[in-house]
Amino acid sequence: MRPSIRSTAIKPSSRNQEYLFHGTLVGHTGALVCIAATEDGKLAASGGKAYLVLSTITIVADLLWRQAQTAPSGSRGATTYLLWVRREEEPAEILIFGTQLGLLVCWKQASPSAFEERNTRPLTGDAEVTGLDFDPATNRLLACNRNSVVACFTIERGTLALQPVFSVAMTNVLPKAIAFGEYINNEKEVLVFGMYDGRIYSLRGTTGEVLRSRETGGLIGNASVNVRKGIYCLDDPFQGVALYRLDDDRRAKTFEVTRKRNSARARQVCFANDAGFVVSGSDHGKIYVFDRWSDNKIVDELNVGNADWVQTITVGRILSLFPISDHNTSPRM
């Protein structure tokens, strides 16, 4: 293994010293679009216009080491969404990713540092995949794309073949995110977050029938759901992170994220520390970590090294990765 730490003009930093900067993962050319880490932080996948890079990560004496597996985007188009899948009866990690041209690709771990492709399936509509989610209890995968298609599959053991449960095309909805919600009549509802209309749609988990929808009062730049805690958070590009309760869809609070630019840009949001923290990117090179139980208290403020757009983030138990805009194509840890 070799170290892959790259120096930057301004070293990334933690204002309150709650987090430690370990290094920068290199290997991408062109824009980096998405990134995802396993829960234990030992594997990270990053996708962009040119490549999908899968990194096996080890941190020794505060230094970051990694082995990388790289796959060119080729005729599939850019990698636009990444999802790690773990099933209790299957020790190997599974990576499912969506592409710019509407393909769903399934990789399975063949060794601690290598993955092999098991299955590829097109999503109806041949458009950019905008969201994925998996429910271990029912072995079902959700996917949505920019052509307003929402689909549900089961994942076969071994082959990882995707068997359709339903596929529907929603009317006048651009799904920005998708997630499994709570149980309704012994089946999990499907939550679809519409970007431009600012609405959340509840779909029947077996047929895709729209059961209800509700307003959020703004645009939805991104969403993260924690069913176990009964909460979800939304990126409101004009205000910050809005925290809601699943049981009544009431906005519990808003964590303000300052905008430094005239135009509002979507930021990825997520939960961390067993949903005790709410994490958001920004348009000025900082990641904000909020205490969910407080009124806008910032646990820490992470500077990625320049004042650009923090486009996407991922959080694991032992690492956090924060890639930024097209001007920088390497994730920071």
d(CA 46, CA 26): 10
Number of Cβ within 10 Å of residue 152's Cβ equals 26
Query: Is 178 within the bounds of a domain?
Result: yes
Q: Evaluate whether residue 333 is within a structural domain.
A: no
Secondary structure tally for the chain: helices H, strands E:
0, 28
Number of domains in the chain: 1
The answer to whether residue 326 sits within a structural domain is no
Q: What CATH number is associated with residue 210?
A: 2.130.10.10
Q: Is 93 within 8 Å of 110 (Cβ atoms)? A: no
Q: Nearest-5° angle of CA 316, CA 131, CA 237?
A: 80
Q: What is the pTM of this model?
A: 0.89
Contact (Cβ atoms closer than 8 angstroms) between residue 252 and residue 229: no
What string of pLDDT tens digits covers the 333 residues of the chain?
Answer: 333 434 344 678 888 888 878 777 766 677 778 889 888 888 888 888 877 888 776 655 455 555 678 787 878 889 999 999 988 888 899 999 999 999 999 999 998 878 999 999 999 878 999 999 999 999 999 999 999 999 999 999 889 999 999 999 999 999 999 999 999 888 999 999 998 888 999 999 999 999 999 998 888 999 999 999 999 999 998 889 999 999 888 889 999 998 888 778 888 899 999 999 999 999 888 999 999 999 889 999 998 877 788 878 888 765 555 554 444 445 555
Examine residue 330 and state whether it is found in any structural domain, yes or no: no
Q: Is residue 332 part of a domain?
A: no
Task: Report yes or no on 120 lying in a domain.
Answer: yes
Range of the domain at 248: 2-321
Is 328 a member of any domain?
A: no
Q: Could you say which DSSP state residue 123 is in?
A: P
